[in-house]
Structures are given as structure tokens and as C-alpha cells.
Amino acid sequence: MKKKVVIIFLALVLIISGKFLFQKWYFNSDRIHERQEETWNERISNYKYVEYIPIVFQQDELIDARDLLSKTHVKNVIHVLMFYNEEFKVQKGKLLVSSKIDRKTLWNYTTKANDSVWLVEHQIEKQIPKT
């Protein structure tokens, strides 16, 4: 009787540990990564950027103004970002800015991008990438 209990106990331990090891192997295998098109470094770098949304100051608060988003506005914002040496990239037609930039600074950049005088007075030497 004692032998049967020990054998049943060992069988359960082997089944449970086998199931655990299979799950660990299955869910950590490269098969998951094969389905994704981007590399590990690209996935990490995506967390460094957020989609740019114009910000305006209305009624004593900063609010998102998606209606300002046009090709000309994006080009002007890129001009401002390049002037201040901020990290950005254009991916799939969207402007992505560094996630380190806070909302007040983005509002400042939005305001400058809409100011034609500022854009003329603050020229940059580098070529603005096409969007």
C-alpha cells in the first residue's frame, strides 16, 4: 500500500512538472517572435516614442487638438523638433516624438510650429525629412 502511494505521488509530481516545463518551453519559444515583423530593438525603441498630437491652451487647460494635424503642420513641427535637437521619427506616415517630452513642452512646440515668423527666424541647417 505504501509503495502504491509513493508511485502515485511520483507520477503526479512528474505529470505536474512535465506540464509546467512544457508550458514554459511553449510560451517562451521563438515561435511567438517569428510571427512579429519587427526586431527586438525596434520593439524597445517604440516605447521611447509616442504619437504626436497637437496641444493647445484653451479655458485654462492644455487640450489635444487633432484637427490641427496636417502635412504642413507636421513639417513645421519637425522643423521645431530639429531646431531643439529632440528625438523623433516618422513611421507609417505618423510623427512619433520622444516620450520624454512633457505636455507643456509639446504645447510650446505646437505654438511655434503655427508661428510663421518663428519658423523664418529660426532656420535649421539640416534637411527636413519628407513625411
* Average pLDDT value over all residues in the chain: 81
Residue pair 114/97 in contact (Cβ under 8 Å)? The answer is: no
DSSP string, 61-123: EEEE-GGG--HHHHHHHHHHHHHTT--EEEETTEEEEETTS-HHHHHHHHHHHT-HHHHHHS-
Distance CA 109, CA 89 (A): 16
Domain locations in the chain as residue ranges: 2-34, 40-121
What is the reported pLDDT for 117? 93
What is the DSSP code (8-state) at residue 54?
A: -
What is the reported pLDDT for 41? 56
- Higher-pLDDT residue of 47, 40: 47
Q: How confident is the model at residue 24 (pLDDT cuts 50, 70, 90)?
A: low
What is the reported pLDDT for 27? 63
Work out the average pLDDT over 37-66: 77
What are the pLDDT digits (tens) for 64-104? 888 888 899 999 999 999 999 998 988 888 899 988 888 89
**Of 49, 36, 55, 118, the residue nearest 86 (C-alpha):** 49
What is the reported pLDDT for 26? 62
Q: How confident is the model at residue 129 (pLDDT cuts 50, 70, 90)?
A: low
